[in-house]
Structure 1
């Protein structure tokens, strides 16, 4: 498909730089199956869902994956985006041309050796006994570029850029739909009879890379590691069997659920990489309802929601959101919740 189909005019001041407090007071636009639009709040979510539905959230936790250092006299910045093993990561490097295989990179006491380079990406091996602890000491929270371009990361982001579900360390970007949830909201959902479970998809920085091709068929998604345990897969299928709906919190949860679904729409246990790229025409197998933030023009995430709810319907919803001062993307506290027909 032509990428220009997913373009729209987004005023710069609509990109949220800080979250709403409390988080569940964010505005939410409900888009129903008939195209109706209803301005609500995230705290209204229990009223929108049904007893017997299952809320599926991503329990990944963001690590401080951005590092500033040098190779000799040359300044180097890397953003980790995919862990290969305990010591090795794939990262985006700036400037990548100064990172040659065999080079030693120094990050204020943390060292890494370049193993290979492919364009703007490098594979590095950290020379530390405990890489996770070293990253906590030397890394910076990797805010998305559209926020980082307007302000630096700070101490508030260490808390603001984690969801209430965050548990398993490994993401370099937050599953941002989950940022809207609070203990109060989860209690309200439980009282409504909405069950809750989690999966893990370690979100990579590739999620935020701009699409640089003219046709969706030419775009390559970066692989991300995910897991759906056998117990969770069984729970998901049992809910469907009872007539309940699978409610995905965010595009990361949706992408992993769809990666794990077979041709009969049964969700299988999953552990490994997925590079699924969802565009209009895709047949959804696993997800019935999606809650997600408003996304940027021509992004793979806007393509995904257009596939889920229809491009015309999403264009109308986004036009409504812009006209009514909704905020967009990672710290965008408005979200959409819409059923698939």
Structure 2
């Protein structure tokens, strides 16, 4: 099997990349694509373009200030960019509650200047008291860093006080005070992402009020977006790209609601879409083997197997909740969605405009068709849409 990344290239000049969001955030443009027809709107009109039987699914992950800066005695700055927790737990929600010590897999800036046995020091004010922070290598080869601090404040409080918001690299600017609010959805709740689910940045309380008046259902899941979402595909055969692994969380109530309202599901963002499709494949795994773990491998959906209905797969997941007396399930996914993928849950998609040569653009192509994505992106470029994280939005209904 081969997917040529050269089929997913288009010209995106720097001046088309939105460096800041529009104000107010729901005043962004909205391209509406339905059955090969395109119309232009503002995001405040989203309620007029969504069918009344829509079930919106949103990702309520919250971006943490994952960039931590330490200064060596020589004056050299070492940046520690938190990726995934290692201990005391690899479950992000538990890792954020850790006290006194935590180990994370990181991206380390200036790593060559940081000696293996060297301890880095910093201080920060938390809740009106000074906290001393230390950073040392737990495993240099694996880029695992131990962060310890001398107070009973939890890791979440430490990060909020000491870290900086990690903006996407293609913005080519440092984070600013306004990004603390701007690079966060208004419904963000569960801390743990290092990148925002940016399709949700356009929503406001006003938009949600309009959605509620129309009777549109909405539900929330959690996928903690990782830095791997920004990685361009560098192999000509995209299937050789090392797909990033992200942690997701589903509640029992969410699965019950989804079974009852699965007719016209519209995820907000590619993270919600990947989560929903991964949930279906977890159900398939449970049907094939009741003791399966919730880990969806990159190419698992493309294996030959007997067709399983959406409802049957979701009922298998619900049964897993009930048999194990669970209220939530935590899983992992590295699912890769590209043309030839058959969508199992999602009927529409609200999303921004993505980077060339990216797995997210391949996902859009899989959803709307290999030729149609080019038509959509050409139309957006010709009508001065703003691209990427702080850019404009689209509603896609194939």
Q: Does the TM-score normalized on the shorter chain lie above 0.5?
A: yes
Q: What is the SS of the residue equivalent to 2:233?
A: coil
Range that drifts further, 83-92 or 13-22: 83-92
Q: Give distance in 2, aligned partners of 1:288 and 1:117.
A: 45
- Range moving further from structure 2, 91-100 or 282-291: 91-100
* Alignment-derived partner of residue 247 in structure 1: 266
- Counterpart Cα distance in 2 of 1:326 and 1:253: 23
Query: Does the CA-based 8 Å contact 2:103-2:138 persist in structure 1?
Result: no
Residue in 1 aligned with 2:179? 157
- Cα separation, 2, equivalents of 1:189 and 1:102: 55
2:196 equivalent to 1:174: yes
The SS at the match of 2:70 is strand
Aligned to 1:38: 39
Residues 1:122 and 2:143 aligned together: yes
Are residue 264 (structure 1) and residue 309 (structure 2) matched? yes
Residues 282 and 79 (structure 1), Cα distance of their counterparts in 2 relative to 1, 3 Å cut: same
Determine if contact 1:67/1:79 at 8 Å carries over to the other structure.
Answer: yes
Is the partner of 1:17 in helix, strand or coil? coil
* RMSD, matched Cα: 1.8
Q: Is the 8 A contact 1:105 1:114 kept in 2?
A: no
- Give unpaired runs (5+ residues) of structure 2: 90-94, 96-101, 124-131, 285-307, 319-328
Change in CA separation of 1:188 and 1:272 when aligned onto 2, cut-off 3 Å: same
Q: Give yes or no for contact 2:34–2:396 (8 Å, CA) kept in 1.
A: yes
Cα deviation, residue 78, structure 1: 2.1
Aligned mate of 1:326, from 381, 385, 390: 385
Which residue matches 2:237?
215
Tell me what 2:324 maps to.
none
- Please list the CA deviations of residues 289-324 of structure 1 after superposition, one character each: whole Å capped at 9, or x if unmatched: 100000111111111111111121011111111111
Residue 305 of structure 2: aligned partner? none
Alpha-carbon separation, structure 1, partners of 2:21 and 2:356 = 21
Deviations 1:77-107 (A, max 9, x none): 1211222333122111123444566543445
The C-alpha deviation readout for 1:267-295, integer Å capped at 9, x for no partner, is 33641211112111111111111000001
Deviation at 1:200, TM superposition (A): 0.4
TM-score, scaled relative to structure 2: 0.79
Please give the alpha-carbon distance, in whole angstroms, between the structure 2 residues aligned to 1:124 and 1:259.
Answer: 30
Instruction: Give the deviation of 1:198 after TM superposition.
Output: 0.3
Q: Which residue, out of 4, 14, 17, partners 2:16?
A: 14
- The SS at the match of 2:161 is helix
- 1:99, 1:122 within 8 Å by CA — same for their partners in 2? no
Structure 1 position 69, deviation (Å): 1.7
- Aligned counterparts of 1:210 and 1:174: Cα–Cα separation in 2: 17
**How far apart in 1 are the matches of 2:238 and 2:68?**
31
Alignment partner of 1:319: what SS? Answer: helix
Equivalent runs, 1:196-215 vs 2, <5 Å: 196-215=218-237
TM-score normalised by the chain length of structure 1: 0.92
Residue in 2 that maps onto 1:104? 119
SS in 1 for 2:143: strand
How many residues of Structure 1 are paired with residues of Structure 2 in the alignment? 331
Distance in 1 of aligned mates of 2:63 and 2:244:
17
Which ranges of structure 1 fall in alignment gaps of 5 or more residues? none
CA displacement at 1:24 relative to structure 2: 1.4
Q: Which protein shows a greater Rg?
A: 2
